[in-house]
Homo-oligomer: A and B are copies of this chain.
Amino acid sequence: MAAPSDDETRSPGRYAKGIARRQEILDKAIEVFAKRGSKRTSLRAIAQEVGVTHAALTHYFGSLEELLVAVYRESERRNDTEHPEPSGLSPAMMMRVSAEENRNIPGLVQLYSTLVASALEEGHPAAYEFATQRFSRLREQMAERVRELQASGEIRDDLDAVLVSSLVIAASDGLQTQWLLDPSVDHEAALEMLDALLAGGRDSR
Which residues from B are CB-within-8-Å of A186? 163, 166
- Nearest-neighbour CB distance to chain B for A72, whole angstroms, equals 14
Mark the stretch among A2-10, A13-21, A54-62, A115-123 that contacts chain B.
A115-123
The answer for the CA separation of A168 and B22 in the assembled complex, in Å, is 42
Kindly supply a per-residue 1/0 record for chain A positions 171-205, scoring 1 wherever the CB is within 8 Å of any chain B CB and 0 otherwise: 11111011011100111011001100110101111
The answer for the CA separation of A189 and B170 in the assembled complex, in Å, is 13
Number of interface residues of A (CB under 8 A): 54
Contact of A181 among B110, B113, B135, B180 (CB under 8 A): B135
Mark the stretch among A42-50, A80-88, A152-160 that contacts chain B.
A152-160
Contact of A121 among B110, B159, B190, B203 (CB under 8 A): B110
Which residues from B are CB-within-8-Å of A109? 120
Name A122-174 residues within 8 Å CB distance of B. 122-123, 128, 131-132, 135-136, 139, 156, 158-160, 163-164, 166-167, 169-174
Contact, CB under 8 Å: B174 / A190: no
The answer for the CA separation of A158 and B182 in the assembled complex, in Å, is 24
Contact, CB under 8 Å: B131 / A181: yes
A-B contact pairs, 20 of them (CB 8 A): A38-B121, A109-B120, A110-B121, A114-B117, A128-B181, A158-B202, A158-B205, A159-B193, A159-B204, A163-B190, A167-B171, A167-B194, A169-B174, A169-B178, A170-B172, A170-B174, A170-B178, A171-B171, A171-B174, A200-B202
**Chain A interfacial positions (CB closer than 8 Å to B):** 37-39, 109-110, 113-114, 116-117, 119-123, 128, 131-132, 135-136, 139, 156, 158-160, 163-164, 166-167, 169-175, 177-178, 180-182, 185-187, 189-190, 193-194, 197-198, 200, 202-205
